[in-house]
Structure 1
């Protein structure tokens, strides 16, 4: 599972860099806000990232991890933030003992 998560994170980060290299940051948002489909996509991503942040907050509290560094990472990098959070997450003790 960790290999798949690493692959998804790396491929998505590379794709994000490619898109930003083609559009620039301002151009990215101009294109996103240029149509109702873009507005819907922005609303959808905002809802999804808010849910991800809520989960990360609860998980970080339960695991004794810092949560606040992940807020700007998620707000600035989108889904890459939660993907990195999962990638750097320790496996719970119960899973380690079962393995």
Structure 2
């Protein structure tokens, strides 16, 4: 339950920021911005590494929860952090075992 709440708290402003950025430069413009400098390459590479690490957790966790991991992988590849955040929000809540 806590993971869902945290994911929602992060997702709401992140969605607004992403929407604003896309209205200003478009989807490809967000990627294009990072092409022109080593600093941009570093940020883009860092994001890629972080998302691979998240997917290394998400895929086995989804399988353990009887969820198909591949839609979440695709959403993550094309939208970044939206994939893991939405995965956490849509996870079935389990009650604590007594």
Counterpart in the other structure of 1:30: 32
Please report how far the alpha carbon of residue 98 of structure 1 lies from its aligned counterpart in structure 2 after TM superposition.
4.8
Q: Which has the higher contact order (CA 8 A, sep 6+)?
A: 2
Counterpart in the other structure of 1:50: 52
Relative to the length of structure 1, the TM-score reads: 0.86
Alignment of 1:81-92 (within 5 A): 81-92=83-94
Relative to the length of structure 2, the TM-score reads: 0.87
Counterpart in the other structure of 1:13: 15
Counterpart-to-counterpart distance in 2, 1:98 and 1:81: 28
Aligned-residue CA RMSD in angstroms?
Answer: 1.6
SS at 1:86's partner residue? helix
Counterpart-to-counterpart distance in 1, 2:81 and 2:46: 12
Q: 1:61 and 1:97, CA in 2 relative to 1: closer, same or farther beyond 3 A?
A: same
Structure 2 alignment gaps of length 5 or more = none
Counterpart-to-counterpart distance in 2, 1:27 and 1:57: 29
Counterpart in the other structure of 1:97: 96
Please report how far the alpha carbon of residue 13 of structure 1 lies from its aligned counterpart in structure 2 after TM superposition.
1.3
Structure 1 alignment gaps of length 5 or more = none
Task: Give the paired residue count.
Answer: 96
